[in-house]
Amino acid sequence: MIPFRRSGLLAVTLPGLLLLAACGSNQPAEQSTTTAPAADSTQTKVAAMPTSASFGKALDGTEIQFYTLTNKQGAKATITNYGGTLVGLMMPDRGGKMGDVVLGFDNVSDYQSPAFRKANPYIGALIGRYGNRIAKGKFTIDGKSYQVGVNNGPNSLHGGKVGYDQKIWEATPGTSPDGQTLTLKYLSKDGEEGYPGSLQITVVYTLTDANALRIDYTATTDKATPVNLTNHAYFNLSHGVSKDILKHEVTLPADRYTVVDAGLIPTGELRPVKGTPFDFTTPHAIGERIAQVPGGYDHNWVLNAETGQHPAATVYDPTSGRTLEVTTDQPGIQFYTGNFLDGSLKGKGGTVYGLHAGFCLETQHFPDSPNEPKFPSTILKPGETYHTTSTYTFGVRK
Ligand code: GLA
């Protein structure tokens, strides 16, 4: 690993992922590309195990690692045990050139900086115990009321004041028949952020040879508790070429979405998307109707399919030719267009993350489900196992 200097600070590069040309370069890492080897003849020789290296020291002094998973096509996924965060994802464009398709930062200090904490964008992180919002941070289970951490106006967002995005996970690199893996474990103790029950969580990232990043989430509890785990990656399939994602074409197989109030809490209404800017049942560029949605898209779509692994989103980027297919077993997906990114954060290699620099597709149960008896239940009970899988598959259209 070659450390490099940027703005007088020692930063750490991610070998094979952040391909900075030279010491002191201000060139955004995402603009660097390498040519992927031809998939048929000279497939990338994949090391037996993911590689790992230092990601710097966390504020509490813990040495943080990042792990690079590689597949036979030469695609790479880089994940740190800080927040279980997806830091980088190299995928080929229509010409076979690898480019980084997610937003992220060079080292752990960037994820803990005052600017990052202030903006609180959850870039790439694992989210829990409850993804998205719980109204006023209050809910009742079996007649007992709970108050969890409030961190978003009057509401609780993404687990409260210190969510799983800020936890140091126990990481174990490995392999499976499907590809290289990173297994992350975290024990969220009874009472953490006010949630009942000790929740033992295991998340496995798998990078398959079909250029898919699969995320498997498993959890068990010793008291009934709401659970809604997800990943908060921001994608930009033409990273390094386009500073925003407005030209990406999105399809969401969802005839309804959950209507929200001014604080982004669902009113309980599942409203048909037909005839509205929320209708992505056929492909639409993100920018086409975004001006009609105050603030931009930040809503939960109710996926049409309810059982098994089902399609959740398709994205096509005409600039790079890259496509992204999301499948999940979850009932909803939060499509968020980076509305709160304001240019205050500089990502990998110094790239400024401005408005709509990336979009998120957070597979999930509906926001505020613990307070909406008509929504599918999010309560996990002792003796049950929470298990959910979401897969992000990349391809190209010529
Ligand atoms: C989710 C929320 C948004 C925002 C982002 C993080 O997508 O729905 O309102 O909080 O996370 O910035």
How far apart are the CA of 134 and the centre of ligand 1, in A?
Answer: 13
- In short, whether 116's Cβ falls inside 6 Å of ligand 1 is no
Domain ranges within the chain, ordered by starting residue = 116-396
pLDDT in tens, 367-377: 999 999 999 99
- In short, whether 264's Cβ falls inside 6 Å of ligand 1 is yes
How far apart are the CA of 314 and the centre of ligand 1, in A?
Answer: 20
Residue to mutate (ligand 1; options 340, 342, 344, 363; most atoms within 8 A of CB): 340
pLDDT in tens, 203-222: 999 999 999 999 999 999 99
- In short, whether 132's Cβ falls inside 6 Å of ligand 1 is yes
Residue to mutate (ligand 1; options 265, 298, 345, 364; most atoms within 8 A of CB): 298
Q: How many residues does the chain have?
A: 398
Residue 38 confidence class, pLDDT cut points 50, 70, 90: very low
- In short, whether 122's Cβ falls inside 6 Å of ligand 1 is yes
- In short, whether 131's Cβ falls inside 6 Å of ligand 1 is no
Q: Which atom of ligand 1 is nearest to the CA of 334?
A: 7
CB crowding 77-111: b at 16 or more within 10 Å, else e: bbbbbbbbbbbbbbbbbbebebbbbbbbbbbbbbb
**Intra-chain end-to-end CA distance of the chain, in Å:** 35
pLDDT at 31 over 50: no
- In short, whether 345's Cβ falls inside 6 Å of ligand 1 is no
**What does the alpha-carbon distance between residue 7 and residue 68 come to, in Å, rounded to a whole number?**
26
User: For atom 6 of ligand 1, which residue has the closest CA?
Assistant: 121
User: For atom 2 of ligand 1, which residue has the closest CA?
Assistant: 132
- In short, whether 121's Cβ falls inside 6 Å of ligand 1 is yes
**What does the alpha-carbon distance between residue 48 and residue 366 come to, in Å, rounded to a whole number?**
39
pLDDT at 4 over 80: no
Helix (H, G, I), strand (E, B) or coil at 194: helix
The average pLDDT across 253-273 equals 97
- Output the six-digit token pair for 3: 């450390």
Q: Which residue from 88, 67, 14 is spatially nearest to 173, judged by alpha carbons?
A: 67
One-letter identity of residue 153: G
Give 33-83 as a DSSP string. Answer: -EEPPPSSSSPPPPPSS-EEEEEEE-TTSPEEEEEEEE-TTS-EEEEETBT
- Please answer whether residues 313 and 251 qualify as being in contact, where contact means their C-beta atoms are separated by less than 8 angstroms: yes
pLDDT of residue 312: 98
- Please answer whether residues 386 and 220 qualify as being in contact, where contact means their C-beta atoms are separated by less than 8 angstroms: yes
How far apart are the CA of 35 and the centre of ligand 1, in A?
Answer: 34
Mean pLDDT for the chain overall: 90
pLDDT in tens, 277-310: 999 999 999 999 999 999 999 999 999 998 999 9
pLDDT at 311 over 90: yes
How far apart are the CA of 102 and the centre of ligand 1, in A?
Answer: 16
Of 193, 362, 365, 372, the catalytic one is 362
Residue to mutate (ligand 1; options 126, 130, 158; most atoms within 8 A of CB): 158
Backbone angles phi, psi at 236, to 5 degrees: -145, 100
pLDDT in tens, 70-107: 999 999 999 999 999 999 999 999 999 999 999 999 99
Q: Which of 27-31, 119-123, 252-256 has the least mean pLDDT?
A: 27-31
Q: Is 362 a catalytic residue?
A: yes
**What does the alpha-carbon distance between residue 11 and residue 379 come to, in Å, rounded to a whole number?**
42
Between 352 and 42, residue with greater pLDDT: 352
- Measured between alpha carbons, how far is residue 188 from residues 159, 202, 228, 291 in Å? 11, 11, 13, 40
pLDDT in tens, 236-245: 999 877 899 9
**What does the alpha-carbon distance between residue 363 and residue 128 come to, in Å, rounded to a whole number?**
12
Q: Which atom of ligand 1 is nearest to the CA of 336?
A: 7
pLDDT of residue 28: 29
- In short, whether 298's Cβ falls inside 6 Å of ligand 1 is yes
pLDDT of residue 44: 65
Of 232, 248, 299, 365, the catalytic one is 232
- In short, whether 340's Cβ falls inside 6 Å of ligand 1 is yes
User: For atom 3 of ligand 1, which residue has the closest CA?
Assistant: 298
- Output the six-digit token pair for 179: 């590809």
Only one residue has tokens 């957070």, namely 362
Q: Is 372 a catalytic residue?
A: no
**What does the alpha-carbon distance between residue 169 and residue 176 come to, in Å, rounded to a whole number?**
20
Q: For domain 116-396, which CATH number applies: 2.70.98.10, 3.10.50.40, 3.90.1640.10, 1.10.10.10? A: 2.70.98.10
